[in-house]
Amino acid sequence: MEETHLPLVRERAQAGDRTRRGPVIVGIAVLAALVAVGLRVIYHEREYRSRQPLRHAVSLAKSGKVTEALPVLIEFAQKGDVPTMLVLAEVYAFGIGLPYDERRAADWARAASATGKLNTDGSFEYGIARAYMSEERGAVDKDRALAWLKRAAEAGNRHAQEALAHGQSSR
């Protein structure tokens, strides 16, 4: 090739490099997006599989086999699973398949609140108090309702505080 055409060849080669970069960059971006989606799918699949024992335990509990489900529920709750902590709190608070145990119920409710992943305004405790005042659960239990109402008020629940201030044990 002649020396005079060399700058023209270089210019065309550089222009060709620039025009080929666009599709390459797009290809890399698409590949990166596919890898990210694939990793997310893998993560969710592992998460789903790891919770299989919990789903089985919940099924057992719903069918009335709470004592069989209890070890798995406790295991997940001890690992920081907030919904499981709340399930245990309700199981003990209402004596569902186990004897009523206000201390354990309160412990699990406090543990759930301590994670920082839960509204800690006493709403959970207030809900238990209201349930004990509801005839939908069966017999009204004013003593247990009052105990949970006090816990809710101590946690800062405005409705519980107002109910106690007015001498009521439900709202």
- Tell me if 72 sits within 8 A of 79, measured CB to CB: no
> Are 102 and 152 within one domain?
yes
Range of the domain at 43: 3-49
Task: Quick: pLDDT tens for 109-136.
Answer: 889 988 878 777 888 899 889 888 887 7
- Measuring CA to CA, which residue among 131, 132, 82 is closest to residue 109? 82
Q: What percentage of residues in the chain have a pLDDT greater than 90?
A: 26
The total domain count for the chain is 2
Q: Within 10 Å of residue 83's Cβ, how many Cβ atoms?
A: 14
164: pLDDT confidence band, cut at 50, 70 and 90? very high
Assess if residue 55 is contained within a domain: no
Of the two residues 20 and 101, the one the predictor is more confident about is: 101
Is the Cβ–Cβ distance between 69 and 58 less than 8 Å?
yes
Residue 171's pLDDT is 43
Provide the token pair at 65. 């086999």
Q: Residue 155 in 3-state DSSP? A: coil
Assign 51 to helix, strand or coil.
coil
For residue 110, the model assigns a pLDDT of 87
Q: Are residue 27 and residue 71 in the same domain, yes or no?
A: no
In this structure, the answer to whether residues 101 and 127 fall within a common structural domain is yes
Shared domain for 82 and 36, answered yes or no, is no
Note whether 152 and 71 are same-domain residues.
Answer: yes
Whether 123 contacts 166, CB under 8 Å:
no
pLDDT digits (tens, 9 = 90+) for 32-54: 777 778 778 777 677 767 778 88
Cα–Cα distance for residue pair 55/125, rounded to 1 Å: 25
- Indicate yes or no: pTM above 0.85: no
- Is 95 in the same domain as 139? yes
